[in-house]
A and B are shown apart, each in its own frame.
Chain A
C-alpha cells in the first residue's frame, strides 16, 4: 500500500488534527538534519518541501539550471526521501530544481532515481510538469486573457516566442489530482509554495482558509520564528485553526513573529492570490499556546469564479563580460561622470554598437550609490575608494570580452581635466581583470493568465521507481 493510499484509507479527517511537516523552504541549500529528524518523530501525515524560488533572478529559469549546488540538492533529496519512506508518509516536493521548467524537473528526477538506486529504495512517484505550451499562451494573449502583474510590458506573441522557458504556477488542484493516483512521492514543476503544504488537508476536506494560511506560513520552515532559521516546522491543523511549532527547540513561534512573517516577500500582507481563489489574512488572530507555540485562526478563503495561473518566462539577451577596477584617487572619484562619458565615447568609436554587433554597457560605480536601484542623487561626503564594475551584454561572448577589454584600457588612461595620476586612473585586483559571465537573461513574462481547465495545463504521470 502506498503512503497516499494509507492516508486515504485510515488517515485523519476534518475534526482530527492533521500534522504537516515542512522540511525545507528551499531544498538544495542544506536541510538541518537534527530538526528534520525531530519532525519525523512527531509522526506527520505528510512532508512537504519547496525546492524553488524566483528571487534568485531570471538566469536559472532561462538557462535551465539549479541555483543550488546539485551535490547539496542530492544530499537534501536523499534525507527527505529516506525520511518520508521510513515512516510511510507522502512526500511532496514543489518547484523542482529552482525554477520548475522541464530541464529543472528532469535533473531533479535524475537525482531522485540515482538516490533510489544507490539506497535501494522503491516507491511510486507522481510527476507534474508546469511548462506552458506556447500556442496556448499565444491564444490567451490574442483573446486578451493575460495581464501584467506590475511594471512589465503586456504580453505579445513575440514575447511568448522569445522566452527560453515558460512555466505556470500550479495550485492545490494539480497536486490533489496527483494524490488521487495514490503515489508515495510527488515531484512538481513550478508550483505555488502554499499548494505543496495545503494539498493534503484540502483533499481531505479541511477548512481551506486555515489550510492555506498554515501552508503560507510553514512554506519557509522556521523563518516565522524568533530567532528565524531553516529548521523543519510542524503545522497541526485542527478544525478552523492551526498550531505552529519549530522542530528546533531554540526557535519560538510567537504571535508577533508569526504575524510578521505575513509581510515577508509579499507586496500586500493581507491577501494571497492562488489559482483557485484568494486568501484574506486581515482577520487572522494569533494566540500564544506557550513560549514557543502559537495558534492561528480567522483567515478566510474566497474561491475564484475564474481560475488564474501566474506565468513566468525568461528570455536570453546575450552574453555577459565584466571588468573589475578600483580607484582611491580623489580627482578620479570626483570626475567619474566625465570619465564614464568619455570612455563610452571612445569604446563606441572603436566598436560601434550597431546592427548585429549592438551591445549594452553598464557602469556600476560602488562608493557612489552603486547599490541604489532608484538612482537618487548622490549625497554625503565623497568615498575614500570607489569600485568600477563594468558590465557588457553582447550577442557573443567574444564581442562582450572585446568591449570590456577596450573599456579597460580607456578607463585606465583617460586624460580627464585636472588629472594628476598619469600612470593610470584605476587599480586592477587581478589579471585579467575582464571576465566572462556566461549568458544573460531577463524576466520577459511575469503575468497572470485566465484558465478554463487546470487539468490539461498540469498533466500528471506516474512512475514506479526502483
Chain B
C-alpha cells in the first residue's frame, strides 16, 4: 500500500532554518507499527528518496503520538536566495507514493 493511503497526516515544515522535518501520523497503533518497521522508512531509503547523504537524515519514531519524525538538513538555508520553500511546507510529496 502507498504511504498516502495509510497515514492520517503527511506534512513537512522547517525546524529552524537549517532543517526540514517530515511528520507522519497514523490513526491507530497497528498502522503506525506497520510503517515504523517498513524498510521504506529506513534512514538509507529516505536518503535515496530525497537524493541526499544518509548522514543528513534522522528518523525518530514517537509512539506517544503514533507518529514518525524525519529530519533532513536543508541543502539551502531557509530564505537564502536560491531557496524555493522558505517554510519548508511542500517537501513531503516524495513520501506520498512510497510503498509500505
Interface residues of A (CB under 8 A from B): 54-59, 149-152, 256, 259-260, 262-270, 284, 286, 317, 320, 360, 362, 364, 370-377, 391, 393, 440-443, 446
Contacts and interface: CB of A to CB of B under 8 A. Distances in A.
B15 interface: yes
Nearest to B87: A55
Interface string B30-72: 0000000000000000000011100010101010111101011
A269 B60 contact: yes
Interface string B73-98: 11111111111111110110110000
A56 B65 contact: no
Question: Chain A binding site: helix, strand, loop or mixed by DSSP?
Answer: loop
A443 B81 contact: no
A282 to B, nearest CB: 8
Contacts of B52: 374
B82 to A, nearest CB: 5
Most chain-B Cβ atoms within 10 A of its Cβ — which of A265, A373, A443?
A: A373
A362 B81 contact: yes
A393 B77 CA distance: 16
B65 A259 contact: yes
- Bin the interface of chain B by size: 35 or more
Given A57-B86, A371-B90, A443 B74 contact: no
Contact of A443 (B17, B19, B20, B94): B17
Most chain-B Cβ atoms within 10 A of its Cβ — which of A372, A374, A377, A441?
A: A374
Contact of A266 (B21, B51, B75): B21
A58 B86 CA distance: 10
B18 A442 contact: no
Interface string B4-33: 000001000111111111010100000000
Nearest to A255: B64
Closest 9 CB pairs of A and B: A150-B18, A57-B79, A259-B65, A267-B15, A442-B80, A267-B71, A260-B65, A259-B64, A151-B73
A152 B15 CA distance: 14
Contacts of B65: 256, 259-260, 262-263, 269
11 contacts: A58-B17, A150-B19, A152-B18, A256-B65, A266-B21, A266-B69, A270-B62, A371-B90, A376-B50, A443-B78, A446-B18
A267 B81 contact: no
Contacts of A149: 16, 18
A269 B74 CA distance: 18
Contacts of A58: 17, 78-80
A266 B74 contact: no
Given A266-B15, A268-B60, A270-B60, A391 B81 contact: yes
A264 B15 CA distance: 8
A150 B73 contact: yes
A259 B32 CA distance: 15
A264 B89 CA distance: 12
A67 to B, nearest CB: 11
Contacts of B76: 373
B5 to A, nearest CB: 19
A334 to B, nearest CB: 22
B65 to A, nearest CB: 4
B84 to A, nearest CB: 6
Contacts of B82: 360, 362
Given A57-B78, A262-B65, A268-B60, A373 B83 contact: yes
A77 to B, nearest CB: 25
